[in-house]
Amino acid sequence: MKKTERMIALTEILLSRPNELLPLGFFADRFNSAKSTISEDLVAIRETLHMTGKGSLETVSGSAGGVKFIPSIPKEAAEQFLENLAETLSVKERILPGGFLYMADLLYDPAIVRPLGLIFAGIFRQKRPEVVATVETKGIPLALMTADSLGIPAIIVRHGNKVTEGSSVSINYISGSSKRIQTMSLARRALETGKKVLIIDDFIKAGGTAKGIINLMQEFDAEVVGLGMLMEDAVWNTSRLVNEYLALLQFMGIDSSSGKTIIKAKKL
Residue 177 belongs to a domain with what CATH number? 3.40.50.2020
pLDDT over threshold 70, residue 13:
yes
Whether 129 and 254 map to the same domain: the answer is yes
Whether 109 and 144 map to the same domain: the answer is yes
Region 51-61: mean pLDDT is: 91
pLDDT over threshold 80, residue 90:
yes
Strands 246-254 and 223-233: parallel
Last residue of a domain, one of 71, 88, 118: 71
Please give the backbone phi and psi of residue 41, each rounded to the nearest 5 degrees, phi first.
-65, -40
Q: What is the DSSP string of 146-169?
A: HHHHHT--EEEEBSS--GGG-SEE
- 3 state SS of 210: helix
Residue 211 region, left (φ>0) first, then alpha (ψ -120 to 50), else beta?
alpha
Whether 152 and 167 map to the same domain: the answer is yes
Residues 223-267 pLDDT 10s: 999 999 999 999 887 888 998 999 999 999 888 788 788 999 999
Sign of the alpha-carbon torsion through 190, 164, 200, 180: negative
Residues 121-149 pLDDT 10s: 999 999 999 999 999 989 999 999 999 99
What is the per-residue pLDDT for 176? Answer: 65
Of the candidates 87, 86, 85, 49, which has an alpha carbon nearest to the alpha carbon of residue 67? 49
In total, how many domains does the chain have? 2
Whether 50 and 114 map to the same domain: the answer is no
Sign of the alpha-carbon torsion through 216, 183, 180, 200: positive
Last residue of a domain, one of 71, 96, 123: 71
Domain that holds residue 21: 3-71
What is the per-residue pLDDT for 180? Answer: 85
Whether 55 and 151 map to the same domain: the answer is no
Last residue of a domain, one of 25, 43, 71: 71
Whether 156 and 26 map to the same domain: the answer is no
Residues 174-207 pLDDT 10s: 876 677 888 999 999 999 999 999 999 999 999 9
Residue 47 belongs to a domain with what CATH number? 1.10.10.10
Whether 67 and 79 map to the same domain: the answer is no
Whether 81 and 159 map to the same domain: the answer is yes
Whether 85 and 196 map to the same domain: the answer is yes
Task: Using alpha carbons, list the distances in angstroms from residue 164 to 161, 171, 219.
Answer: 9, 19, 21
Whether 175 and 208 map to the same domain: the answer is yes
